[in-house]
Amino acid sequence: MLNWLSSDIFLIRRLKHGDSDAFGKLYLKYLDSIYRYIYFRVGQKQELAEDLSETVFTKAWENITKFKEHRGTLKAWLYMIAKNVVVDHYRKAKPTIALDENITGVNSVIETEIEKNEDIRQLMSCLNQLTTEQKQVITMKYIEDMSNQEIAQILNKQEDAVRALQHRALQKLRELLK
């Protein structure tokens, strides 16, 4: 892990001195995990998750000089940006309903997909019954494989609070899945 962390610091220092190749390496390293985080936060909408992921990296590029190595990891900083981008998206979003004239035929395809993914659908339904913070903690911990320290930094909470959120979320999921 030390090599991983030191390589981030090395790349950040190069980036702060104008090395765009360093940004490309950081982008490739973190794109998938940032995308997955956003994907689950925006209701599994692939195109929206792609757009918001690009926004995260644009903001990171524009603000890399504000990143302070002694305050946390680059990974946590990127997730903090991602969290804020998703919040901004929902603040700006206006609810709309898309109407499609060719709905017949599509329903059978959708029903087939839903039947194939019943376990995933049930789990997602249960996850949606958790609080926003509980959902974030579960996603970061078990999908993104983050430490409690990283999660605490991203959510601006104490590690004990993160552990409590995680415990309550898992307890509620167990009850809902019974």
Instruction: Please check whether residue 45 is in contact with residue 152, taking contact to mean a CB–CB distance below 8 angstroms.
Output: no
pLDDT in tens, 91-108: 888 665 555 544 555 555
Is the pLDDT at 109 greater than 60? The verdict is no
Rounded to 10°, the helix 2-16/74-92 angle is 70
Which of these CATH numbers, 1.10.1740.10, 3.40.50.720, 3.50.30.10, 3.40.50.2300, describes 1-94? 1.10.1740.10
pLDDT in tens, 57-73: 999 989 988 888 777 88
* Cα torsion angle, 92, 95, 99, 104, sign: positive
C-alpha separations of 118 from 111, 112, 122, 150, 166 in Å: 10, 10, 6, 32, 24
pLDDT in tens, 150-173: 899 988 999 999 999 999 999 998
**pLDDT at site 168:** 92
Determine the Cα–Cα distance for residues 136 and 75; give it in Å rounded to an integer: 15
**pTM of the predicted protein model:** 0.61
**Structural domain boundaries in the chain:** 1-94, 113-178
Quickly tell me which residue has 């599509």 as its tokens.
106
Is the pLDDT at 114 greater than 50? The verdict is yes
Q: Which fold has domain 113-178?
A: Arc Repressor Mutant, subunit A (1.10.10)
